[in-house]
Chains A and B, each alone.
Chain A
Amino acid sequence: EDQVTQSPEALRLQEGESSSLNCSYTVSGLRGLFWYRQDPGKGPEFLFTLYSAGEEKEKERLKATLTKKESFLHITAPKPEDSATYLCALNSGYALNFGKGTSLLVTP
């Protein structure tokens, strides 16, 4: 069975303090690993899709990478507006199987 585990559960950073969020996964055949951002009470907002080990994608201060067992979301010089919950998900063939998320708080 596909499994997704995210760590840490919560992360507090100072503005400008770079860090990484981890998504460990087990899957029989990878059909895509997705990263979403979710603000409180709002719907998840799509960030990236990664399909194969070694693939990297960037958007502003965010960079997602993928290995055969893990994906990392690197946040460079974060700003308070980057505060949100970041969700990792596997495509199970028809639906997304989500991790519990990492709640990120960036303080000024």
Chain B
Amino acid sequence: DSGVTQTPKHLITATGQRVTLRCSPRSGDLSVYWYQQSLDQGLQFLIQYYNGEERAKGNILERFSAQQFPDLHSELNLSSLELGDSALYFCASSFLARGSTDTQYFGPGTRLTVL
């Protein structure tokens, strides 16, 4: 158990819908990262937040957004869902911010299925 929690574990929805994925980082960690894992693309970085502020963006679609709240939990919002958004979504957390080499610890993931 990494100490990172994610809810829900599974999510099944229809095209065009909007969903919210939730992540709670390890106690004491200030950074939260979101990754998407699909069969053909592997693990892809989406976005990072540090202590409530967006710090870095990766291959995140405009239909996707995220935020980190004062209690440091984070939410990833996916809208206008398409079949190709079906994937595993992972949250990771670490203590330090950008430029550090600290370890990222991953949560158990949310499996999103878009029908």
Contacts and interface: CB of A to CB of B under 8 A. Distances in A.
A65 to B, nearest CB: 18
Nearest to A32: B101
B101 A43 contact: no
B103 A46 contact: yes
Interface residues on B, range: 20 to 34
A31 B101 contact: yes
Interface of B: 2, 4, 33, 35, 42-45, 48, 55-56, 58, 88, 90, 92, 98-99, 101, 103-109, 111
Interface of A: 31-32, 34, 36, 41-46, 49, 51, 87, 89, 91, 93-101
A91 to B, nearest CB: 5
B109 A42 contact: yes
A101 B88 CA distance: 16
Give the top 10 A-B pairs by smallest Cβ distance, nearest first.
Answer: A43-B106, A95-B45, A94-B56, A32-B101, A98-B43, A94-B98, A44-B106, A100-B42, A43-B108, A31-B101
A42 B108 contact: yes
Given A44-B43, A44-B90, A95 B58 contact: yes
